[in-house]
A = this chain, B = another copy of it.
Amino acid sequence: MSERIRSSILVVSLAVFVTSCAAVPSQPPDPLASWNNTGPKKAIIAFVERVTTPGSPDFVPAAERVATFDNDGTLWAEQPMYFQLQFALDRVQALAPLHPEWKDTEPFKHVVAGDMDAFLAGGEKALMTAVAVAHSGVTTEEFEKVAKDWIATARHPRTGRPYTQMVFQPMLELLAYLRAHEFKTYIVSGGGVEFMRAFAQQAYGIPPEQVIGSQGVLKFEMLDGKPVLVKMPEVQFVDDREGKARAIQALIGRRPLAAFGNSDGDLEMLQWTAAGPGARLVLLVHHTDAEREWAYDRESHIGKLDKAWDEASAKGWTIVSMKDDWTSIFPK
């Protein structure tokens, strides 16, 4: 064999070897693929490494890794109105034939007539009345069926998507990323606990026992010798603002390592999380993308972000700009 041929063989062999080396340990798929490689993504990864790497001074055992997520505006959209309010209005419409008297009763007559302006002019009282009617008078099992039927059939008025496709793809990736690192992921949200459970497993992979929400009073009754729990119109607990921190303590009994919100209603949960010892991740989703989603903050009636934004800025919490930090918003 000539020196030249031997050299050629060597070069080719080396090239094959190098190519193989580059190809075989192929790049694993990015678990946060819908996040731009900006500050928030880096903060998330750095935090998870700090608390999950054995030997790290901030290491936390798996059993204590709790992450809490607000739902409306954090895990899924909340415009042009909270989706649960749309559910309530649809439910009032569906029940209207059983209630002919609603044609002459505030605020139902406006819902029946489809006059949203008149309905909303009734303010919080009108909202609460409609919500109470839509969420009561049935057993918990009947309600579960009603809510699941609505989730399966209702469509968002602007996008025409099912509501479970109005979830944020980057947040789905974040949930999965945290769970892959043995975090227990909870919803802690102002929405009704039984409404959210109707889709939380399917949409987010979050089981019913990890959904914390507002509760109506339940009444234990015997019906034909069988116990039922009837949903009453009265409010048992409002899981908003300081209620979120209280519910986390009362129901989980562990302070979250990480908490995620998007509005002033999440402030106390974020404060409670941030005040724990060791590494904590406290993150706000800022709705900055009028083209792909919506843009709103301080002046919004829905998902108002004002005080929590100021505090996040002052304390150095992580703020996600949907426009700048997310490559995509909704699932493809």
Tell me if B245 and A220 are in contact (CB < 8 A).
yes
Tell me if B271 and A245 are in contact (CB < 8 A).
no
Tell me if B193 and A253 are in contact (CB < 8 A).
yes
Note all chain B residues with C-beta closer than 8 A to A207. 63
Tell me if A271 and B215 are in contact (CB < 8 A).
no
In this assembly, does A298 line the interface, its C-beta being within 8 Å of a C-beta of chain B?
no
Tell me if A227 and B271 are in contact (CB < 8 A).
yes
In this assembly, does A162 line the interface, its C-beta being within 8 Å of a C-beta of chain B?
no
> What 0/1 readout, one digit per residue, does chain A (59-70) give for beta carbons within 8 Å of chain B?
000010010000
In this assembly, does A140 line the interface, its C-beta being within 8 Å of a C-beta of chain B?
yes
- A209 contact from B193, B252, B272, Cβ within 8 A: B252
Beta-carbon contacts under 8 Å, A151-200 to B: 184, 193-194, 197
In this assembly, does A42 line the interface, its C-beta being within 8 Å of a C-beta of chain B?
no
In this assembly, does A246 line the interface, its C-beta being within 8 Å of a C-beta of chain B?
yes
User: Which of under 10, 10 to 19, 20 to 34, or 35 or more describes the interface residues of A?
Assistant: 20 to 34
Note all chain B residues with C-beta closer than 8 A to A268. 220, 227
Tell me if B220 and A251 are in contact (CB < 8 A).
no
In this assembly, does A233 line the interface, its C-beta being within 8 Å of a C-beta of chain B?
no
Docked CA distance A329–B218 (Å): 37
In this assembly, does A242 line the interface, its C-beta being within 8 Å of a C-beta of chain B?
yes
Tell me if A252 and B208 are in contact (CB < 8 A).
yes
Tell me if A246 and B220 are in contact (CB < 8 A).
yes
Note all chain B residues with C-beta closer than 8 A to A236. 250
Tell me if B253 and A211 are in contact (CB < 8 A).
yes
> What 0/1 readout, one digit per residue, does chain A (227-260) give for beta carbons within 8 Å of chain B?
1010000001000001001100111111000000
Tell me if B209 and A253 are in contact (CB < 8 A).
yes
> Using a CB–CB distance below 8 Å, which chain A residues touch chain B?
63, 66, 140, 184, 193-194, 197, 207-209, 211, 215, 218, 220, 226-227, 229, 236, 242, 245-246, 249-254, 268, 271-272, 275
Instruction: Write 13 A-B pairs (CB below 8 A) sorted by A numbering.
Output: A193-B253, A194-B253, A197-B253, A208-B253, A209-B251, A209-B253, A215-B250, A218-B249, A220-B242, A220-B246, A227-B272, A229-B246, A229-B272
